[in-house]
Amino acid sequence: MADYKSMKIAHMKAKQSARQYRVFVSYSTKDLPIVEQVRAALKGVGAEPFVAEHDIAPGESLRESILTAIRQADAFVLLWSTASSQADWVRHEVGIATGAGRLIIPVLLSPEARLPSFLSDTKYLSACGNLQKGLAQLSELVAGHARSKASNEQAKAFAVLAALVALLFVARE
C-alpha cells in the first residue's frame, strides 16, 4: 500500500505543478498601470505572474527575491518601454533571465523604445497603440506554453507511474 500511496502523491504533485505556469514580469515602475493589466491577463489564463510590487514584501531583499523568482519562472515577460529601457533593474533582470536560459517574451509598449541588441533576434509582441490586442496575444502565447508544459509533465508523470507499476509487478514475482 505504501507504494501505491507514493505513486498517488507523485501523480498529485505532477498535476499541481502542471497547473502552475510561472511568469516573471520585468517592467519599469513608471509603467505600473500597464503592469496591472498584464498581471490580470496572465492570471486570467491560469498563469502565476511574479510582479515585484505585489510579490516582494517590505524588508525582503529585492536582489534575492528577484533572482529566485526568475530561476523558478517558466517564462520571462519583458515589458519594454522608454522607461524600462532606462531602468537598471530591468537590464539586470534580463541578464539573469538570459543566463538562466528562460524563455524571454518581449512586449513592446512604445515604438520609440528599441529592444537592446542582445534581444534583437528575438521575436517580440507589439502592444503599441493597441494594448488590449497585445494583452490578448500575450495571454494566448502564455496559455499555449502552459498547456505544453502541463502535457509534458503529465506524460512524465504517467511514465513514472508506469515504471512504478512495473516495479511492483517485478517485486511480486
pLDDT score at 114: 86
Task: Average the pLDDT over each of 37-41, 46-50, 159-163 and give the range with the smallest value.
Answer: 159-163
Judge whether residue 170 has pLDDT over 80: no
**Going by C-beta distance under 8 Å and a sequence separation of 6 or more, which residues neighbour residue 120?**
none
What structural domains does the chain harbor? 20-143 (3.40.50.10140)
Q: Tens digits of per-residue pLDDT, 114-148?
A: 888 888 889 999 999 899 999 999 999 999 999 88
Judge whether residue 13 has pLDDT over 50: no
Judge whether residue 40 has pLDDT over 50: yes
Beta bridge partners of 80: 108
Judge whether residue 15 has pLDDT over 50: no
Residue 67, SS3?
Answer: helix
Of the pLDDT bands very low, low, confident and very high (cuts 50, 70, 90), residue 156 is: low
Q: Which spans in the chain are helix H?
A: 2-19, 32-44, 52-55, 62-72, 82-85, 88-99, 131-172
Average pLDDT over residues 74-88: 96
CA-CA distance, 141 to 135, in Å (whole number)? 10
